[in-house]
Homo-oligomer: A and B are copies of this chain.
C-alpha cells in the first residue's frame, strides 16, 4: 500500500487534526469527527451541515467555512457517519433559524441522517433536508436506491451556503437546494481503483488498458467496462450522457466542472476541460463559470467526472458570492 499513513485506524482523525491546525478559524470535536466554524452557530443564520464517508476530500470537511458548510461529521473512509456523530453535530450547530442537512443519496447516509433528524426534532431543533443525487450513470447502485450523489454536491453547498449568509430561511434554502440539485448532472470515468488505508487492498480490480465508464465514487460499477480511448472520445460519451439527461439545450447558461477523482494530474483535467468546453460551444451552451480541479474524490483514484449545472440569475449570483474554505490556494 503506497500511502502516507501512520496507524490506518487513525487516518481520518489525523487528517482532521491537520485541517484544523492549518485553519485557525475551524475547530473540531475529535470524538465525533466533527469539523466546524469557530464562529458558528448563530441564531440569525441557518446552520448547514453534511457528513458522508471520508475519502472524498475536499468533500466534505474541507468545504467547511464562511459561505459553505458550517460543520461536517464524516464517517470512516467510504463509510457513513454513525447516527451519534450526526446528532452531536446537529446539536452543536443548533440555531433558532434551523439546521439544514445536505445528504448525498446513499443508503447508509440516508439512514444515519434520518434517525438523527427524528431525535433532533424531538429536542425541538428545526431541520430541513436536501438530497443530492446528480449521477446520471446508473439508477439503484451498490449502496444506493435511486441515483448517487457525487460532484454536484459542491454546487448545492455553494449556492445554499451563500444564500444562508444573506439570511435566507430554512424553507427558502430547502427550495433552493432542491432547485440546484434538479439542474445539475454528473458522470464519471475511472482509470484505476483506490485503496482505503484500513482495508489495505484496492476496492476493485481493473486491467492495465481498461476504464470504468460511469464509475461511482466508492468504486461502484458504472455503465460498462471498456478499453481506454483517446481523451476526446471519452469526453464525448460522458458529455452526451450528462447533456441528454436533463436535457441541456442550446441557449442554456451553464457551469462546467471537470472534477478529478484524486490521482489525475490537473494537466489532464484541463485537457479534458478543453474537450468538454468545445462540446458545450458546439451545442450552443454558454459556459459562464468553469471549475477544474479536485472537488469530490475517491482517495487516489485516477479518473474524472464531468458536471453540468444549468444556471438562472439566482444560482449564478450565488456561485459568484465570496466564500472561505480550507481548499483555497493563497
Q: A: which residues have CB within 8 A of B?
A: 2-7, 11, 14-19, 21-23, 54-55, 57-58, 62, 158, 191-192, 208, 228, 230-232, 234, 262-274, 277-278, 287, 290, 292-294, 297, 299-300, 302, 304, 319-320, 322-323, 325-330
Contact = CB atoms under 8 A, between A and B. Distances in A.
A302 B302 contact: no
Nearest to A297: B265
Contacts of A55: 267
A134 B21 CA distance: 25
Given A4-B272, A15-B274, 7 more contacts: A2-B302, A4-B231, A6-B271, A15-B270, A17-B274, A263-B302, A292-B326
A148 to B, nearest CB: 20
Contacts of A192: 2
Question: Which of A158, A268, A274, A330 has the largest number of chain B CB atoms within 10 A?
Answer: A330
A320 B328 CA distance: 12
A17 B267 CA distance: 11
B265 A262 contact: yes
A302 B4 CA distance: 9
Nearest to A304: B4
Contacts of A11: 267, 271
Nearest to A1: B228
13 contacts: A3-B268, A4-B264, A4-B304, A7-B230, A11-B267, A18-B270, A21-B287, A62-B266, A262-B265, A264-B300, A265-B297, A293-B327, A300-B302
Contacts of A266: 57-58, 62, 294, 297, 327
Total identical chains: 2
A25 to B, nearest CB: 12
A322 B324 CA distance: 13
Nearest to A327: B329
A232 B293 contact: no
B21 A300 contact: no
Nearest to A206: B2
A271 B304 contact: no
A138 to B, nearest CB: 22
Contacts of A16: 270
A329 B330 contact: no
Given A22-B273, A274-B18, A329-B328, A234 B267 contact: no
B2 A273 contact: no
Contacts of A14: 271, 274
A110 B54 CA distance: 44
